[in-house]
Amino acid sequence: MEQLSGKVVVVTGAASGIGLALAKKFGAEGMKIVMADIEVPALESAAASLPDSVERITVVCDVSKGEQIDALRAAAIDAFGAVHIVCNNAGVGGGGAMSDMNIDDWKWVIDVDLWSVIHGVRVFLPGLIEQGEGHIINTASVAGLFSAPFMGPYNVAKYGVVALSETLCNELAMQQSAVGVSVLCPSWVKTKIASSVRNKPGATAEEADALAEFVQPMIDGGIDPDTVADRVVEAVKAKQFWIITHDDTPGAVTLRTRSILDGTNPPQLMH
C-alpha cells in the first residue's frame, strides 16, 4: 500500500509505546486512526496527544477476548466505513523459570501475545481480502526468532506470531491476494512492557517488581518507539514482510540457524 492518506488503520495497544508511536506516524500520513487498548485513562490521554487534524476514535478492548476484537472491527466500520491496515500490536511481558510457573502464568501471556493476533487475523482478514487491498502488521519480537532463557511463555507466544505471519504471507501469495503481511521483530524498545504485569489478573506487587527489575535495564537502553514506527510505515509501503529494527538481530539469527544445521545445542542468546 503506497497510498495511505485517507485510509483507516486499527492499532491495538495504542495507549503507549510502539502502539502510540504507530498511531502518530500513520496519522502523520493522513490516515484515520482506530486506537484500542485496555487501559482507559491512558488510551484517552494518548488519543488527545495526536494533532487535532488527525481523525481518530478510541475503543476499550481486551485483545485476549475474541468477541471484543469483533466489537473493535464493528466500531471501526461504524466510524469510518472501512479498515485498510491492522496493527495487531498489543502485548505483555512475562519472565521467570519454567519450573516456578503455573498455568495462569502461561495462559495470561499466550492469551494476550498470541491469541490476540489470531483473533485479529480471524476478524479483519476476510474484509481486507474482499475489498482487494490492505495490510496486516503482527508485532512479534526477536523472541520469535531465538529463545532467551527465563522467558518461556513470551518466547512461545512470539514464535507463534512469527509462524502465523509466515503462514499467512504464503497463503495470500498462493491466493494471489493484494493483501500484505508484515511481522515486526524488535529487540528492546523504550516502552512500558516492564510494568505490563499491572494488567494481569491477581498479580502481586512482588511479581510486578520482579519483572520490572529483570527487564527495565534492557528497556532503558532500547531504541525509541518512533524509530520502530518509521520502519513499520516503510514496510507497509514497500509490502515488506520482515521488519527487523536492531542491527544485532541478523547475527543472532545466524547463530541459531547454524546450530540447527550443525545439530548442536541452541546458543545461549539474550534478547
Model confidence, pTM: 0.92
In whole angstroms, give the CA distance from residue 229 to residue 161: 19
End-to-end Cα distance, the chain: 31
Q: What dihedral angle (degrees, nearest 10) is formed by the CA atoms of 112, 118, 119, 125?
A: 140
- Residue type at 55 in one-letter notation: E
pLDDT at 196 over 60: no
Contact (Cβ atoms closer than 8 angstroms) between residue 214 and residue 197: no
In whole angstroms, give the CA distance from residue 133 to residue 127: 9
Min mean pLDDT across 1-5, 157-161, 232-236 is at: 1-5
What residues does each domain of the chain span? 8-193+223-246
Q: Which of 115, 194, 119 is nearest to 151 (CA)?
A: 194
Whether 154 is a known active-site residue: answer: yes
Q: Which of 73, 75, 67, 205 is nearest to 130 (CA)?
A: 73
Q: Which three cell numbers stand for residue 45?
A: 490521554
User: What average pLDDT score do residues 150-172 get?
Assistant: 98
CATH homologous superfamily for the domain 8-193+223-246: NAD(P)-binding Rossmann-like Domain (3.40.50.720)
Q: Which residue stretches of the chain are H helix? A: 17-28, 40-48, 66-80, 103-110, 116-131, 152-174, 205-220, 225-238, 249-262
pLDDT confidence tier of residue 217, bands split at 50, 70 and 90: confident
Supply the pLDDT for residue 195: 60
pLDDT at 201 over 80: no
User: What average pLDDT score do residues 218-243 get?
Assistant: 93
Question: Does the CA dihedral 46-52-54-56 come out positive or negative?
Answer: positive
Of 154, 184, 194, 196, which one is the catalytic site residue? 154
Supply the pLDDT for residue 95: 80
- Residue type at 31 in one-letter notation: M
